[in-house]
Structure 1
Amino acid sequence: MTLTPAPRSNVSDHVFAQVRDAILSGAYLPDASLPSERELAATFEVNRHAVREALRRLQQLGLVKVSQGGATRVLDWRLHAGLDLAMSTAISAGDALPVGTLVRDMMEMRACIGADSARLCALRGTAAAKEQIAARVDDLAAAAPDLDRMGEANVALWRAVVTGSGNTAYLLAFNSLVSGALAVGHVPPRLRTAELLDVAGHRLLSDHIAGGAGDLAEAQARALLTASLPAPLSARTGSSAARKDSSTTRS
């Protein structure tokens, strides 16, 4: 991967993004040493302060380990990086991090968090929290058929569910999933149409939560949050086989 001099503005961002992408693409392997600050400054034609700031950000993401007065070593992002790495990666970073699947991956993560949050909210949510969920379903219905407005209402509804679960870790993860360049909240509504338009399904979810039916709330939440996801290959294959068997039986 060829590194290029930085533009006059945002020089630290430029250094950060190029070194990040070089690491994720495998140009710098885990345990390898990055060039020294002096060498990086010369390559990018920037001062060492900009390089130092970029390295600090890379270290915060779990991509490098900066040793005081020593070499900067590359870390394996699969072992050390967190969700912040996905949030910071708005363009393709090579095969090492399949950015093309990040929206799908985060929607799958949101489905897992949302389903368990619905279960917990049903079991231990306060009456006020459950009333908030019902009110957010009304907002979703009122926003129809405007998919953009429904998308905003949908995020607010699920925030109420996650908040009502009382799980702070889920709430922090949800905040990450609906912010940033690749956020679920910013996914084009057409990719979530099946979920957004199912107002009746959201009312059923609200009813299950209000009634304290944890298992039913979990199942309904998962059904809603996976409605727009492509079926796994095995599931599609199984469905095709089932249709073929049915066709054979009828003939």
Structure 2
Amino acid sequence: MAFVPVPRASVSDHVFGQLRDAVVSGAYRPGDTLPGERELAAAFAVNRHAVREALRRLQQLGLVRVSQGDATRVLDWRVHAGLDLALYLVRSGDVLPVDTLMRDMLEMRACIGVDAARLCAERADAATRETVTRAAQEYAGLAPDLPRMAEANIALWRHVVRGSGNTAYLLGFNSLVAGALAVGRVPPERRAAELLDVAGHRRLAEAVAAGRGTAAADQARALLTAALTPTTPPGRECRA
């Protein structure tokens, strides 16, 4: 594969990005060996330190295995990579379609949110229930300002997910928000049906406050699946 020499600013980032895309796109397949540091440095017209740093980051993402004194072998990212990879790939729409990643993250958000809402209703203490109720009231006051509602929506759901007491859900939520895949960079207009459903958000908060887990899950599902594409097969989204 022919690599493109990179500008001197952030050379390691450019090397990392091109190698990452080469692995994910299948230009290098699982089990293949990458060229050595010297060869990569010459191909990219950078020093070996930049190559070494890029390889370290690839290994952290689960894309390669770097062995001291041995070849760098490509791993199957579908087996070894985590959610962090998706957060990088959203910036590389030519490798995996951004629309597909956005859909996948919205589906994941629905899976987490539905069960987190149920658990929050069942587990949250009184202070958390009050916080969720207050956040829903503040959210309602922002309508119909979609950009501000989108920001407040993150805050509301953070309270719900934290109230679930599930650390794995919280870390997944943090990744989704940090990567701006499922919430931040999805155009608010695409989520208009969800964001403008002020009554639905109130019902969610009321169910949490009343400790009604099934009702909270049902309302969360109605809200979080509203932004999914019409082609999503019925029942594809997770159910609590």
Above 0.5 in TM-score?
Answer: yes
Q: Which amino acid aligns with 2:152?
A: A
Cα deviation for residue 180 of structure 1 reads 2.4
Cα distance per residue 1:73-122 (max 9 Å; x no partner)? 0000000000000011211253xx44431111111101111110110011
Q: Which amino acid aligns with 1:163?
A: R
Cα distance per residue 1:135-192 (max 9 Å; x no partner)? 1111111111110000011111101100111111111110000112535222110011
Scaled by the length of structure 1, the TM-score of the pair is: 0.89
What is the match of residue 192 of structure 1? 191
1:104 equivalenced with 2:103 (yes/no) = yes
What is the match of residue 238 of structure 2? none
Corresponding residue SS for 1:129? helix
Percent identity over the alignment is 67
CA distance in 1, matches of 2:179, 2:102: 12
Q: Indicate if the aligned counterparts of 1:176 and 1:183 stay in contact, CA closer than 8 A.
A: no
What is the match of residue 139 of structure 1? 138
Cα pair distance change 1:99/1:24, threshold 3 Å: farther
Q: Which amino acid aligns with 2:74?
A: V
Q: Which amino acid aligns with 2:10?
A: N
CA distance in 1, matches of 2:15, 2:43: 10
Unaligned runs of 5+ in 1: 236-251
Q: Count matched residues.
A: 233
Q: Indicate if the aligned counterparts of 2:113 and 2:220 stay in contact, CA closer than 8 A.
A: yes
Where does 1:1-251 land on structure 2 (aligned, <5 Å)?
Answer: 1-89=1-89, 90-94=91-95, 97-180=96-179, 182-232=181-231, 234-235=233-234
Q: Indicate if the aligned counterparts of 2:150 and 2:183 stay in contact, CA closer than 8 A.
A: no
Q: Indicate if the aligned counterparts of 1:103 and 1:187 stay in contact, CA closer than 8 A.
A: yes
CA distance in 2, matches of 1:87, 1:58: 14
Cα pair distance change 1:201/1:175, threshold 3 Å: same
Unaligned runs of 5+ in 2: 235-240
Cα deviation for residue 234 of structure 1 reads 4.8
Moved segments of 4+, more than 6 Å: none
Larger Cα Rg: Structure 1 or Structure 2? 1
Scaled by the length of structure 2, the TM-score of the pair is: 0.93
CA RMSD of aligned residues (A): 1.3
CA distance in 2, matches of 1:87, 1:146: 27
Q: Which amino acid aligns with 1:172?
A: L
Q: Which amino acid aligns with 1:59?
A: Q
Corresponding residue SS for 2:65? strand
Q: Which amino acid aligns with 1:221?
A: A
Cα pair distance change 1:171/1:140, threshold 3 Å: same
Q: Indicate if the aligned counterparts of 2:136 and 2:156 stay in contact, CA closer than 8 A.
A: yes
Q: Which amino acid aligns with 1:92?
A: G
Q: Larger helix proportion, structure 1 or 2?
A: 1
